[in-house]
């Protein structure tokens, strides 16, 4: 019986992790549907290790993209920004290069989407983060320093 309960608890934890970004336009990016998973560096942290940052969950992906793919990902992030509680964005020309998006809370948990695209010539290095926790926008500003784009 203990084994069954343990298995059920693990299944619920995995299901909760997989659905954290569900409902977002950029959800396919995290799932590897826009950029294959083998071309991305992914990081996922949940639990006590994030308490210092007032976060319960951190999921990040980073990858390289040509301009067409960078525009596609930027469009998905922009669509999420339009439905957000608040957002701060920057563009270089007509391409989104920075976004800090405060999503609508899920229950009483704050949710954020962070996006950065840095040009290295014809290739863009894109980083996309999804964060959950009690952290405020001010907390995030103190944690992350926005990098200048070329």
Q: Which of 72, 78, 75, 65 is nearest to 118 (CA)?
A: 65
Categorise residue 65: left if φ over 0, alpha if ψ from -120 to 50, beta otherwise: beta
Q: pLDDT band at residue 20, thresholds of 50, 70 and 90?
A: low
Q: What is the pLDDT of residue 101?
A: 96
pTM score of the predicted model:
0.80
Mean local confidence (pLDDT), 98-124:
93
115's tokens: 């996006």
Rg of the chain, C-alpha, whole Å: 16
pLDDT single digits (tens) 112-135: 999 999 999 899 999 999 999 999
Q: What is the pLDDT of residue 105?
A: 87
pLDDT single digits (tens) 37-53: 999 999 999 988 888 88
CATH class of this structure's domain 24-149: alpha beta
Q: pLDDT band at residue 10, thresholds of 50, 70 and 90?
A: very low
Question: Concatenated DSSP letters for 121-147?
Answer: SS-EEEEEEEEEES--HHHHHHH--PP
């Amino acid at each position: 019986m203990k084994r069954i309960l343990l298995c059920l608890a693990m299944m619920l934890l995995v299901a909760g992790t997989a659905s954290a970004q569900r409902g977002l336009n950029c959800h396919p990016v995290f799932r590897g549907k826009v950029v294959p998973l083998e071309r991305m560096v992914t990081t996922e942290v949940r639990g006590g290790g994030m308490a210092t940052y007032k976060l319960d969950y951190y999921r990040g992906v980073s990858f390289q993209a040509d301009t067409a793919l960078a525009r596609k990902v930027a469009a998905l992030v922009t669509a999420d920004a339009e439905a957000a509680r608040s957002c701060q964005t920057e563009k270089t020309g007509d391409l989104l290069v920075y976004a800090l998006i405060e999503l609508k809370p899920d229950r009483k948990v704050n949710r954020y989407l962070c996006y950065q695209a840095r040009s290295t010539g014809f290739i863009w290095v894109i980083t996309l983060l999804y964060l959950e926790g009690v952290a405020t926008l001010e907390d995030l500003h103190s944690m992350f320093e926005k990098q200048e784009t070329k």
